[in-house]
Structure formats: C-alpha cells, structure tokens
Chain A
Amino acid sequence: MKLRAEQPGGRALYRPVFDRTLCIGCGECVRQCTFNEIRLDSRNEKRVPHAAGKACGACHRCEVMCPRGAVYIGERPLALRPHAVWSQEAVMRVHLQAASGAVPITGFGAGSDIPVYWNRLLFNACQVTNPSIDPQREPMETTTYLGRKPENLKEADGFKASQLLRLNLPLVFAPMSYGSINLRLQKALAITAREKGILWYSGEGGLHKELYDYSDWAVLQIASGRFGINPDYLTKARAYQIKIGQGAKPGIGGHLPGEKVLEGVSRTRMIPVGSDAISPAPQHDIYSIEDLRLLIYAVKEASGGKPVCVKIAAVHNVAAIATGIVHAGADMVYLDGYRAGTGATPAIVRDNVGIPLELALAAVDQRLRGEGIRHKASIVAGGGIADSAAVMKAIALGADAVAIGTAALISCGCHGCQRCHTGKCPWGLTTNDPDIAERLDVDWAVERLSNLVDGWLHEMKEIMGLNGIYDIGSFRGNRLLLRGVGLSPKELEILGVRHAGE
C-alpha cells in the first residue's frame, strides 16, 4: 500500500517557521540543522529556506544561530481527538513500532505527569521572633564534606579528614560518560568543578588523558562494562563510584552503539573502534551485598584507600538497599531518581520504572538515621533538579550534596530535544562527530557552567539566610524547614514533612 503522507510515527511535531521578509538566504539554518530538516531552494534568483516537516525536534539551534532572527520553531501537533489513553505520544509510539518492530529509544529524563514533589514543598522563613540573615552582608558557610565520618569523639582524634571530600558548596556534576557526551563538554565540567571546588563524575567512559589534570576533582566510575579501567585509572581520582543502577533506566544495562566509538572514545574506553560498548545490566561479579562489599574493598585496596561511592536508581526498596550498601562499606550513596537524564534509554523504561527522587531520598535518610548508620555514608542525590530551590529542598530532606546533569547541559545550550542518542546533538554536547562537537567552545561552556553555579549558590545562601541559618549543616536533614501543600497523609509521612498550616 502506498501512503502519500507520513504516518504519525514518522511525522515531526515541530517545524522551523521562516519570516521571508527578514531572511537573506544565507543558509546558516541549513548548516546548523544536523537532522537535514532544512533545505535551500532558489526561487526567482533568491535563495529561500524550506522545512521538510520530517525531523524537527525543537532543538532551536537554527533559531538561535540565524543572523537575522528570521526563523523560529513552531508547533505542529497531531490534531487527534482528545482521549485519555490514545494521546499523541501513545499513537505515535504504536506507529513507530508498527513500522520498525524495535524498541523506541530516547534521551533526556522522564517528562511524564508523575507528581514533581519539589513543587509541592515550600520553605519556612523567619518572621518576628527569629531574625533572618542577609547573605550579602554576613558570611554563610556552604562547605560540605562527603564520606565516612567518625563513629564518636574518641575516634575523631585519629580521624583522617583528608579522606573526606571537601566541596565549597553541596553541588556536583552528575556522571556523564565520555562517549555519551563529548570531550569538550566533559572538559568544561572538569574545569568548572576545579574552579568552583566541587566534583565532577566521569560516568563509565574512562578518563581521557586530557582530563588527568582535573582528576583530583573527579569521581571516576566503575560500572558493569569496566571500560577504561586499568591500574592507572585506580590511582587517578579523588574517589570512585561503583555504578549499580541509573535513574533513567533502572535494572537495564547501557549500550553505546559502535557508531559513537570513534578513535578518542576507543582509546579512553580501551575497546576497538566501531565496536558496541555494551554494559551488562548487573555487574556479574555482584549478586549480593556481600559481593558488593568485595568490590568496594577491592577498589579501596587497589586505589590506596580512596573513598568509594555506590550509585543506585531510586526503586521500591531503595531504603533497604541503601542500608545494605552502607553496611557493605560504601562511603557515599548516590541516589538517582525517576527523572534523571540519560544519553540513551528505551522510552518505555525511562517513563515507567523507578520512583521519584524526593520520596526515595526521604526514605533513605530516615532509614539510615533509624539504624544509626547515617554518619557512615554521605548521600548524593540527583535526577530532575531544575533549580536551586530543589537543591535546598533535597538537602532539607537529607541529601549531603545534590547532582546536576541536565541543568548543566541546558546551561551549555541544550533545549531538551531528547535526541542525545542519535549522536547528532546540534549543540555539540551529546555528539562525538568532530565537526558538530566543534560547535561547543570550552571556554564559553566553562563561563556558562560557572555562572550557573554562582547564581544557584547566591540563591541557596538566600534560602539559608531567610531561614536564619548560616551553616548548610543546620539545613541538612532539617525537615521542619519544609511544609507540604496538597499532599496526602501518606506522602507527607514518607517525606517526613508536615502539611502547610500545621
């Protein structure tokens, strides 16, 4: 059967719209679009851009780069009859799979309408009886130490504080591997982390030689694929992270397609050029907490006693799992929530697996306190942190530090087109194509990332000050600073916060 138009699965929902009175036919938009959506036609000796209507994903690169402001991205929704089940996404997905028989894969974090609890939590503020602090005029302490703290005062005497990771503020750059993002972006994250005195996490793509200078601010990952891990790698980092799970794809492995394994990635991951980099779902030497303990201490032994972090996705029994991880000897637990981003994941997994970070974080903090082992490990929480308010709410729920990944990408140009897996990121972020990657200027990215960190830090201090708190330590796990709005008693119970008005 010959179809004259694109079925919904192959039809773009956005399209560049041109203002032909402003357009000078320079063709910049054509060059900028990495998805071949725009072509230039000649009409009456004038060159005119045209959109194919087949592949625009609203990355806004053409719009931002047009020298005349002659293009913007317009929506082009499927005008379907409203239906609770057969939404635009559902209809498109069925068509896509009917055409391919494959698993639709996507990037970014889950955008479903599962509640975002950050938006239902509000801070307290000083009024009358307790004075607030003006962070513009008074010193505010945001220094944070991650790692295993001493058992008691007696032990504290011989305690090596150098084993702790010192952060100037409780923020880290979430693990993004070289391969899923390119070296320029990873370098920008590393430089910014060093400048700001925070940490960057490598993800499982190994450590490129160009980043050796920044390894004192790096937490290097050990995941199931064991890519790029050799004795040298185990001497380089400030700390190590054993990755068990990822919020965007809990319970499944990773797969960097051979197309993305070019020379640099090959050398850093130590795998042949063009081969698929497959990370099995579990680490097959870890089937129990005892096995995890084995690897934690193996890493400590081989790395000269560096702190070890274990990263898990927020899932149903997260509190019990985190307890096991702490008992296994981890110095940090990294919780990756339901909305955490990724370079590639099956859409069905991203949108349907795992639980919101807010509930997981509150449950883990509560459980570790209950067991009297909260001091044994720090909690780093990430996944869908969009502003400094969410950072401070996470800290009030018990996080020692908060990780940002997607926000960092957005600061470097990302508009959330969710096509990280294609390797064609028009902003030069999640691509290793050298011609496209060149679009990202490292210095510019460092400036943007630094500004973002600065801006958030100002706001974080403001939120501390208006609560009359000058030390981040007094904010941590202080749930009395929060009140919930429109939440059920059960949700409030899990979050450990009271309802507004109480």
Chain B
Amino acid sequence: MSIAIDAKGVDYRQLNELVRNCLSQGERHIIIKNVRGQRYLGAGLTAGDLLLEVEGVPGEDLAFCMGGPTVIVHGHGQNAIANTMDSGTVVVHGLGGDALAYGMRGGSLFIRDSVGYRVGIHMKEYRDMRPGVVIGGTAGDFLGEYMAGGTLIVLNRHNEREGVCGQADKTLATGIHGGEIYLFNYDVPGFLPGTGARLLPPDKADTGRVRSLVEKYCLYFGFDPKPLLERELVKIIPADSRPFHKFYCPAYPVNS
C-alpha cells in the first residue's frame, strides 16, 4: 500500500508537514509527485521502514540528519544530499550537486551519475556505523576532504580519462584522517593525492567491501556489476591516522 502526495505548488514546509502527517498515520510508502525544488525532504525522519519516493527534482538538504528511511529520487538531486545523515539509504536516479554526504555518519548514498564539488567532506564512522557512498560518474574537486571514516567510491562508469575527481591540484582527500576512497579506472595524476593522503592498490578485504557496495548500486539502477568491477581500482587512505600530531607544541613548558 502506498500513498501519493502531489507537491505541485506546495511550499516545502507544508510538504514536509504532509509527509510527517502521513507517517504518523502509519503510512510506510509515500510517493511525492511533481517535486520542484522543495527542500529538506526526509530531513530528521527516523522511521526505518519508511520508503519515500520522490518524483521530480527535490531541493537542497534532502535527507538532512535522517536516521533510517529509504529515499528514492526519480530525477536529479541538488546540493547537500545526506548532510549529517545518520542511517538509511538515499538513491538518486540522476546527477547530484555539491557538498553531498557532509559529515555523514552512517547509511548509504547511491548517485547514478556524476556529482559536484566537496562531496564526502568529513564523512565519519562510529562503531558499526560506516557510511557508504557510490558515485556512478565522476566527482568534482575536494572529494573526501577531512574524511574521517566510511567508504567513498567513484565508479567512473563511462571511463572518463580526465576530471574524474576534480581538476585542481591536490584537492582529493586533503586532510583525510580516516575512511577510504576507491577510484575505478583512474589515471592517477602525478600530483595526487592531497596532503595527508596515501595511494595504494586495494587488498582482498577492500575488494569485498567495494564489490558489495557496487552490486547494491547496480541493483538500484539496473546495471551489470561484472564489467564495472573488472576494471582497475585504486585506494586512497590516510597516510597517518593522526595527521596533525606534530603540528602543535605547548606554548608553555609542560613536564610529562
């Protein structure tokens, strides 16, 4: 059983209120039609068994601080999807904007195509919470900056040779101190990765983790995972878990 809401001409506050009302009446499959930039859909929602389908283009901060539901967007997404998200799943059948998955602590985010700048900044992890982000196309600069946990995969489905994760010098994974980034079929430019990051070939356990996320991605979007997974893979992890360990000294003598 599902219930549909027509979002045409409805203000975002009203729309979110409608969603919350449906939820409190026990609806667990809500379809929002004609979405045209209404913000904060799914924000702060915690029903783990909720399936929220969005038809159209949702506004910014989709699934902000969400804890549990599954959100499927039939259309492009905008900026700040899965901002500070705690758990749950977001699937976008199209492009993603800038600053996705900022400070994301758990759950997963699947973007079918490419994303903009500043994706995955300060993603983190805690105990059994490990966020996973799969980007089907390419990403912009500052991918995984300050990353503190979780797994970020750039699938590069169309095997682009340039601009796979930004064009500028040393912005990929700058300041990473936890988590891991995987890049498929990627010619690593000499200047990459950024400060504090280290480039490695993946080991067996890594491949297993990547496989499971990529297979989920393919399931959502109807691709065959096999040829995608057969391509070359590189991994980026922190060079040191305490990158700023020696950066500071006490301004006054301290006996240890």
Binding site for B on A (CB under 8 A): 6, 9-12, 35-37, 52, 54-55, 57, 93, 96-97, 100, 102-106, 224-226, 229-232, 234, 255, 257-258, 266, 270-272, 275-276, 278, 280, 283-285, 294-295, 297-298, 301-303, 346-347, 418-419, 421-422, 424
Q: Complex formed: what's the CA distance from A365 to B101 in Å? A: 37
| B121, CB-defined interface residue at 8 Å | yes
* A434–chain B nearest beta-carbon distance, Å: 18
| B64, CB-defined interface residue at 8 Å | yes
Chain B residues with CB under 8 A of A12: 252-253
Once the chains bind, are B122 and A284 in contact (CB under 8 Å)?
yes
Interface size class of B (residues with CB under 8 A): 35 or more
Once the chains bind, are A419 and B16 in contact (CB under 8 Å)?
no
Q: Complex formed: what's the CA distance from A100 to B127 in Å? A: 36
Once the chains bind, are A224 and B122 in contact (CB under 8 Å)?
yes
Instruction: Using A105-B249, A225-B122, A230-B65 as known contacts, say yes or no to A285 and B102 having CB atoms under 8 A apart.
Output: yes
* A9–chain B nearest beta-carbon distance, Å: 7
14 pairs of residues in contact across A and B, judged by CB atoms under 8 Å: A57-B254, A96-B249, A103-B249, A105-B248, A226-B124, A230-B65, A258-B241, A258-B242, A271-B124, A276-B177, A278-B122, A280-B121, A295-B61, A298-B39
Instruction: Point out the residue from A298, A301, A347 that lies within 8 Å of B251, measured CB to CB.
Output: A347
* B169–chain A nearest beta-carbon distance, Å: 18
Which residues of B from 165 to 183 have beta carbons under 8 Å from A?
Answer: 175, 177-178
Q: Complex formed: what's the CA distance from A103 to B250 in Å? A: 8
A266 — nearest CB in chain B belongs to which residue? B126
Binding site for A on B (CB under 8 A): 12-13, 16, 39-40, 43-46, 60-61, 64-67, 79-80, 83-84, 86, 99, 102-103, 105, 118, 121-122, 124-127, 129, 142, 145-146, 148-149, 175, 177-178, 241-256
**7 closest cross-chain pairs (CB), A and B:** A302-B44, A226-B103, A104-B251, A55-B255, A102-B249, A231-B67, A106-B251
B61 — nearest CB in chain A belongs to which residue? A298
Once the chains bind, are B102 and A422 in contact (CB under 8 Å)?
no
Once the chains bind, are A234 and B44 in contact (CB under 8 Å)?
yes
Q: Complex formed: what's the CA distance from A36 to B45 in Å? A: 51
Instruction: Point out the residue from B44, B84, B127, B247 that lies within 8 Å of A226, measured CB to CB.
Output: B84
Q: Complex formed: what's the CA distance from A418 to B251 in Å? A: 9
Q: Complex formed: what's the CA distance from A297 to B61 in Å? A: 10
Once the chains bind, are B250 and A105 in contact (CB under 8 Å)?
yes
Q: Complex formed: what's the CA distance from A280 to B103 in Å? A: 11
Chain A residues with CB under 8 A of B102: 226, 283-285
* B197–chain A nearest beta-carbon distance, Å: 14
Once the chains bind, are B251 and A96 in contact (CB under 8 Å)?
yes
Instruction: Using A231-B45, A271-B126 as known contacts, say yes or no to A297 and B39 having CB atoms under 8 A apart.
Output: yes
* B94–chain A nearest beta-carbon distance, Å: 20
Chain B residues with CB under 8 A of A270: 105, 124, 126, 129
Q: Complex formed: what's the CA distance from A103 to B246 in Å? A: 9
Once the chains bind, are A102 and B248 in contact (CB under 8 Å)?
yes
Looking at A52, A230, A272, which has the most chain B CB atoms within 10 Å of its CB? A230
Once the chains bind, are B146 and A278 in contact (CB under 8 Å)?
yes
Instruction: Point out the residue from A234, A284, A301 that lies within 8 Å of B13, measured CB to CB.
Output: A301
Once the chains bind, are A225 and B242 in contact (CB under 8 Å)?
no
Once the chains bind, are A36 and B250 in contact (CB under 8 Å)?
no
* B126–chain A nearest beta-carbon distance, Å: 4
Once the chains bind, are B175 and A278 in contact (CB under 8 Å)?
yes
Looking at B105, B246, B255, which has the most chain A CB atoms within 10 Å of its CB? B255
Chain B residues with CB under 8 A of A303: 44
Instruction: Using A102-B246, A285-B102, A301-B16 as known contacts, say yes or no to A275 and B177 having CB atoms under 8 A apart.
Output: yes
Chain B residues with CB under 8 A of A10: 253
* A206–chain B nearest beta-carbon distance, Å: 11
Instruction: Point out the residue from B40, B146, B255 that lies within 8 Å of A37, measured CB to CB.
Output: B255
Once the chains bind, are B66 and A231 in contact (CB under 8 Å)?
yes
A346 — nearest CB in chain B belongs to which residue? B248
Q: Complex formed: what's the CA distance from A102 to B249 in Å? A: 6
* A62–chain B nearest beta-carbon distance, Å: 14
Chain B residues with CB under 8 A of A271: 124, 126, 148-149
Q: A6-B253, A276-B241, A302-B40 are in contact. List 15 more A-B contacts (CB 8 A).
A: A103-B248, A104-B249, A105-B250, A230-B105, A276-B244, A278-B122, A278-B175, A284-B122, A284-B142, A285-B121, A294-B60, A298-B61, A298-B80, A301-B64, A419-B254
* B84–chain A nearest beta-carbon distance, Å: 5
Q: Complex formed: what's the CA distance from A272 to B122 in Å? A: 14
Q: Complex formed: what's the CA distance from A12 to B79 in Å? A: 52
Q: Complex formed: what's the CA distance from A105 to B250 in Å? A: 5
Once the chains bind, are A103 and B247 in contact (CB under 8 Å)?
yes
Q: Complex formed: what's the CA distance from A6 to B253 in Å? A: 10
Instruction: Using A301-B16, A301-B44, A347-B251 as known contacts, say yes or no to A234 and B65 having CB atoms under 8 A apart.
Output: yes
Once the chains bind, are A285 and B44 in contact (CB under 8 Å)?
no
Q: Complex formed: what's the CA distance from A271 to B40 in Å? A: 26
* A40–chain B nearest beta-carbon distance, Å: 15
Chain A residues with CB under 8 A of B242: 258, 276
Once the chains bind, are B83 and A285 in contact (CB under 8 Å)?
yes
Looking at B13, B16, B64, B246, which has the most chain A CB atoms within 10 Å of its CB? B64
Once the chains bind, are B86 and A231 in contact (CB under 8 Å)?
yes
Instruction: Using A105-B249, A226-B122, A255-B244 as known contacts, say yes or no to A278 and B148 having CB atoms under 8 A apart.
Output: yes
* A329–chain B nearest beta-carbon distance, Å: 12
Q: Complex formed: what's the CA distance from A422 to B242 in Å? A: 17
Chain A residues with CB under 8 A of B79: 285, 294
Q: Complex formed: what's the CA distance from A210 to B120 in Å? A: 32
Once the chains bind, are B122 and A301 in contact (CB under 8 Å)?
no
* A270–chain B nearest beta-carbon distance, Å: 4
Chain A residues with CB under 8 A of B65: 229-231, 234, 298, 302
* B166–chain A nearest beta-carbon distance, Å: 14
